[in-house]
Amino acid sequence: METRVLGTSEVKITPIIMGTWQAGKSMWVGIDDTEITNAIRAAYDAGITTFDTAEQYGEGHSEQILGAALADVRDKVAIASKVFANHLKYDRVIEACDRSLKNLKTDYLDLYQIHWPSGSFGSEVVPIEETMRALVELQDKGKIRAIGVSNFSVAQMEEAAQFGRIDSLQPPYSLFWRKIEKEEMPYCVKNKMSILAYSSLAQGLLTGKFGPNHQFAEGDHRSKNKLFSDKDNYARVQQALDKLRPIAEGKNCTLAQLALAWLIAQPNTQAIAGARKPEQALDNAKAAEIKLTDEDLKEIDAIGRIVTDPLKDDNRVLWNF
């Protein structure tokens, strides 16, 4: 698989990135450690060399699974993790990074990201200057190679950038959720920042596997997704999927692969895609091989707007947590 440069750093990333929120098990159901480990190795064997995790995913469990799975190929992969909103004071950032390094069985992170802005989820408000001071120090010591942010607005990125180089933004972004195209994407393009899109398949909606009457298992956080929980939104989703299916068939690919191929063709954008099983990881990797013409991209774009144009919610995230 081709690689791209992360922001202006020396880190090389693949356009398809494996996400490992599900490996933490918290807020997911039916997750098996062995199966997830096999999925991580399948992704690597298929050419995906970039993996995203966070200390918050199962309180380090995701990091531990990922670190063990990639220990023998550490020098051939790029690993990104995140520090949570309750650890943004200087000392806590340093401690959190060291904890993540231990979990991941490595002495450096290719990318270390602020998971949510200070104050999120009732966390203590910490000046961004203090958090960035810790991150820049970690970078100077070689413990992290690049600094990123997740779920930040343009104003928040502008403030953080006063105190150190920010090489990436990780926002929710997919064909069915396109809030960042208005402000955050133009900012990232202008400032040569990579976009690492999470929920790139709209939490599974773009796979087409959820029919009109789908009900989630107890404990599955996706029931809180606004595209699922609002019946009008969900009806538009089904309409758009029906229009996407013939395009996918024409490209001899799945709906999910088509959606990922569209996403990585957007400016500065890479797609984070999770997988529970090896075959899902292999399918995700194949999306990088799909060639879409300008006409294809325009047609897919227009279909996606069936879902996104009527959305009145200006909140950047998809959930009602």
**CATH code: domain of residue 94:** 3.20.20.100
- With respect to residue 241, please indicate whether it lies within any of the assigned structural domains: no
Q: Which domain holds residue 143?
A: 4-207+254-291
The count of domains in the chain is: 1
Rounded distance between C-alpha atoms, residue 258 and residue 34, angstroms: 28
Domain-located, residue 223: no
pTM (predicted TM-score): 0.94
Q: What is the DSSP letter of 109?
A: B
**Which pLDDT does position 224 carry in this prediction?**
66
The stretch 14-35 carries a mean pLDDT of: 87
Flag whether 53 is in a domain: yes
Is 224 a member of any domain?
Answer: no
In the structure encoding, which two tokens stand for residue 308, read together? Answer: 């996104």
**Which H/E stretch holds residue 91?**
helix 90-103
Domain-located, residue 312: no
C-alpha 297/C-alpha 202 separation (Å) is 18
Q: What is the pLDDT of residue 316?
A: 67
Eight-state DSSP code of residue 72:
G
Residue whose entry in the numeric block shows the structure tokens 């690049």: 146
The percent of residues in the chain predicted with pLDDT above 90, rounded, is 82
Q: What is the pLDDT of residue 320?
A: 60
Q: What is the chain's mean pLDDT, rounded?
A: 93
Contact 87, 96 (CB under 8 A): yes
Task: Provide the residue type at 285 as one letter.
Answer: A
Q: Which residues are catalytic?
A: 57
Taking residues 101-107, report their average pLDDT: 98
Residue 244 covered by a domain: no
